[in-house]
Structure formats: structure tokens, C-alpha cells
Chain A
Amino acid sequence: MKPPRHPWLLTAVATVITAAFLLPVYWMAKTSLTRPDRIQTPDPQWVPTPLTGENYSTALGYPGLARALLNSLVISSGVVALTLLLGIPLAYALARVRMRGSGAMVLALLVAQLPPAIVLAAPLFILERRAGLSDTYLGLIAADTTLTLPFTVIVLRPVLRSVPAELEEAALVDGCGLPGVLLRVVLPLMVPGVVAAAGLSFLIGWGEFLFGLTLADGPGVQPVTVLLNAFIGQHGTTWGALMATATLISIPVVCVFALFQRFIVGGLTAGSVRG
């Protein structure tokens, strides 16, 4: 598209729209830094003075919050690990190996993204309980991985397909062993896809709520999203501490996105549109 006549005017318009759109996020951060007695007033302050860390100390004083943050970290890291562990070989097999039914499997992966989580949570609740997996990290990691695995394979498969088989064969002929081929030829090409898959899996694992709510019984493995929801009831009116907790949960999301932005956006669009 040809350059607009007034590029800075567009910047100004886009900035105003973005700012208006992000008002909720600003309000969250702002509330978390406002003195508790100035939060619930009919005339709220738009810029908090003085800034205070009080809400954060209140939030961190809640029993279980530190533990829940740690649980979420364990779960989302586990989701990333399990997703890549299963997703890379599966994508490779579906891209390379000619086998009966690989078309059906790709179709199955597309369909796998359709069911609402609640339709899975219900049977998983019964099954994991019977298998002794409920209330364990593994049980939650496995449940969350059902959400991340399909799109991981969908993102990675086209990448692997774009590696010409001749290239792999040539490397084999040149005396490079199969592991060498995978490591030196295939892996470098997969990096963007793998980073996208890892980043998105982390975000999904970190933000997941329903499985945490239904498959984790006690504070032992409960993710922080479930705890935040519980806080609304218990500490319903202490919005300052609640917003401090919400901000704490958002920080890793923003960090992961800022670090891997390019890959994540690429993976998002590839995964949803290309299919």
C-alpha cells in the first residue's frame, strides 16, 4: 500500500485508539498502586497519588498465593515440555512418513480444537479420579496439553514439509548420521515454529482455569487463576489487592509475549488460518 500522506496523523489516531482500548489494563495497574482508602470512591483518581505498594503486600500476604503462583509455573512449564516432546515427533511423522490415515489424523487435529473445554473437563474429572491423576501436576499438565498439542502440530507440520526431502538425503549421503541431519538441517528451520508453540503453550498453560478448577482439589496443585477467582468471593471488596494479584498474573504473560512476539504472532496466524 502506498505511504499515506500524513503518516504521523495516522500514528496519532492509532495511539488514541490503542490507549482507549488498553484503558482496562491501565486501570488494573493503576488500582493496584492506589492507596486502599482511595480506591472505592465515587470519584476515582485517574492518576494515583501517592503510589503505594500496599496492595501488593496485602496480596502476597494471602495464604496460598505464593504457592499458587509456583503451581502455575510448574504446570505451564510442564505443558510446554510435554507439548514439544509429543508435538515435534508427531509433526515430523505426519510431514515425512507416508502412512495410511495421515490425512485423517490431520483432520482429527483440526477437529480436536473444536470441543469446548467443559466437554473435556467433565469426563476427565471422572477418569482422572479413577486413575488417581486428579490433584496431581501430571493430571493438570496432561489435561492442558490436549489444548496445546493440536495447534502445535498444525503449526509445525508445514514447516517440516517445506524441508526438501532431497536435502535430508543429500546430508545423509555426505556422511551425516540421521541425528546429525535432524540436528543440523531440520532443527534450525523449526526454531520459529518451536518457539511459537512453546510460547503459546506457556500462555495457555498459565491462563488455564477450568481444568484447574475441576481437576485440582486443594491448594497443593491449584493454579493461580483458580485462586484469583476464589479471592473474588472471599475478599470481594478489596479491589486493590485483587488487582495487584491480577497484575502479578499478567506480568509473565506480557514478558513472554514481549520476548517472543515475532514468533508468537507468526504461529498464531499460521495455526489458525493455514490449518
Chain B
Amino acid sequence: MAFLALFLAYPLFYNVWTSVHDVELGQLLGGAERFNGLENYRAVIDDPAFWHSVRLSLIFTLGSLLLQFAIGFALALLFARPFPLGGLLRSLLLVAWLLPPVVSGTLFRWLLDAESGAYNALFRAVGLDPLSHDWLTDPATSMAGVIFANIWVGVPFNMLLLLVGLHTIDPELHEAAAVDGASAWQRFSLITLPLMRPVSVTVLLLGLVYTFKVFDLIFVMTGGGPVDATRVLSLYVYEVFFTFFRFGQGAAAGLLLLVVPLLAGVFYVRRLRQEQEAPTGGAV
């Protein structure tokens, strides 16, 4: 615990301290930092680039979250049924999630390359020429490109957790419903969906926290560009801190970046508590 305090809690508190001081590169090795109250926060809030990145973060997070959840759910439904090689194929899918984000980023930079990228070649091959496009270097489409890559990374994890949830549903419920003449769609919408609600909320919350954090993937794919089109909050903080060395401001922006995951975390912990208290709890 001491380690966590030293390397996790202390830096976070130090971040709070930095955020109310005027710290710059010159004072890095212990100089006179001037206390400047909420000055750094004001500078961040007055910075249009900050609000731009907030908007981009929301687009990136919501776009990734909904699609990776929907695809993950569909795959979980498929893999919940027993069939030959199911386990092996499921494990293969997980590889996408396990690759280091830097590798995935590099890879998608190449896949979405204008001329010889695989996806564009594929589009041309099947006659969808208009879709063949230099996705990442056009500001209008670069966000779609990074969301696409992030969905690819996120789908297996969503699938895995939702699969665990599906296995907790008592199969007899489905059988009884089938005997009573419920169609497949009715069984899905009236049994599976409601029973999957607790797991789904958990998966979405975790997804929200993870997606909001994403740095490496975007940094490698576009570096925030072209023309700031993909400079989400985490990249904004990085730039203020490590490119302009405005440490105080970077720290302030970093703390503002914490707001969303913290809210999600509070919600998540409260749900865990409720489930533990509920007598039947523990669908998860």
C-alpha cells in the first residue's frame, strides 16, 4: 500500500499542488514555484483548444462505446452457443485486444493508408470506390479512422465480459419460454436483454473509463492531427505538459480530465455495493 501511496496517490496529490502553482521548465529541479491559485484553471478554461478537445473526446468516446458494445454483444450471442472450435475462435478474437496499442495504431495507419492500405484496396475491389480515401490525413474523416481502430480494439473485451454475463442466464428460462411458444426475438428481448442489464451497465461504464483514457492509439495514428481534428483531451494534456512545458496548466487540465472517469467510478462502486447488498445479487 505504501508503494501505491508513493507512486500513485502522491503523484495525484502532487498534480493538485502543481495545478495551483506557476511551474515551468526552469524550475524543474526544485525552484521557486509561485502559488497562483486558480490561475491555471482559468487559463485552461479560457483556452478554446481545451473545449475543442472536450468535444472531440465526447465524440470519440460515444462513437467507440456504442459501436463496440453493439458488435461485442452480437458476437457474445454467437459465441454463447456451443459449437465446434468456438473456444479457439473466441481466443483468436482476443488477440486484437491484447496487442500493444502502439502496434495497433501503427497497423491501422498502414491499413487506412491512401494508396496501398488494405481497406482502401478492399473497397476498390468490391466496387465501393468512393469509400477508398486517405482517411487519416483528411481532417473530415480522421476521427472516423481512429474511432474505427478503437472499436476494433474494444470489441473483444466487450464480447468477453458480455459472454460471462450470458452464461449466468439460466437456460431453463429460454426452454420454458420456447415451450410456451415464444419466438426467438421475444426470448431475446423479453428474457436475455432485461437479464443482461446489470452486466451491460458494468461493461459500458468500464468502456467509458477505458475509452476516455485512450492516448497511445490516437497519438500513434494521427498525433492529434490533422489540424487538431483528433486532439482528444488526453492528447491535449500531453501537449500542454510535455510540448509547451506549461506544467501548472497541464496539471489543471489533467485534473479536469479526471472528472468523467471519477463520475463513472462513483456510479460503478455504488452499483457494486447495491448488488452485494441485494439478496439475489451476483449476476455479475
Contacts and interface: CB of A to CB of B under 8 A. Distances in A.
A2 B98 contact: no
A161 to B, nearest CB: 13
B241 A22 contact: no
A136 interface: no
Given A27-B111, A116-B234, A118-B215, A86 B94 contact: no
A46 B219 CA distance: 29
A110 B269 contact: yes
Nearest to B275: A275
Contact of A126 (B18, B157, B234): B18
A149 to B, nearest CB: 6
B216 A123 contact: no
B66 interface: no
Interface residue tally on B, bucketed by range: 35 or more
Q: Is the interface of A mostly helix, strand, loop or mixed?
A: helix
B11 A17 contact: no
Contacts of B284: 273-274
B4 A112 contact: yes
Contacts of A115: 12, 258, 261
Interface stretch (B43-51, B102-110, B137-145): B102-110
Contacts of B37: none
Interface string B8-37: 111110110010000100001110000000
Interface string A203-215: 1001111100010
A39 B116 contact: yes
Nearest to B220: A229
Interface string A31-57: 100000001111110000000000000
A228 interface: yes
A111 interface: yes
Nearest to B242: A214
A42 B116 contact: yes
B247 A126 contact: yes
B86 A14 contact: yes
Given A14-B79, A232-B220, A90 B18 contact: no
Interface string A98-122: 0000000101111111111111111
Interface string B56-79: 000000000000000000010011
Interface in B246-261: 247, 250-251, 254-255, 257-258, 261
A44 B123 CA distance: 12
Given A105-B1, A114-B262, A122 B202 contact: no
Contact of B257 (A2, A8, A119, A145): A119
A18 B8 contact: no
Nearest to A203: B98
Contacts of A15: 85, 89
Given A7-B84, A110-B269, A142-B7, 15 more contacts: A7-B82, A21-B152, A22-B95, A27-B107, A42-B116, A112-B8, A118-B215, A124-B11, A207-B99, A210-B215, A225-B100, A228-B106, A229-B102, A232-B220, A272-B161
Interface of A: 1-4, 7-8, 10-11, 13-15, 17-18, 21-25, 27-28, 31, 39-44, 86, 90, 105, 107-127, 129-130, 142-143, 145-146, 149-150, 203, 206-210, 214, 225-226, 228-229, 232, 239, 242-243, 246, 249-250, 253-254, 257, 261, 265, 268-269, 272-275
Interface of B: 1, 3-4, 7-12, 14-15, 18, 23, 28-30, 75, 78-86, 89, 91-96, 98-111, 113, 115-116, 118, 121, 152, 155, 157, 160-161, 164, 171, 174-175, 199, 202, 206, 209, 212-213, 215-216, 219-220, 234, 237-238, 241-242, 247, 250-251, 254-255, 257-258, 261-262, 264-265, 268-269, 272, 284
Q: List the 9 closest pairs (A to B, CB-CB), nearest first.
A: A207-B100, A123-B11, A10-B83, A116-B213, A225-B102, A119-B254, A7-B83, A114-B261, A209-B216
6 contacts: A22-B93, A126-B28, A250-B99, A253-B99, A257-B95, A269-B161
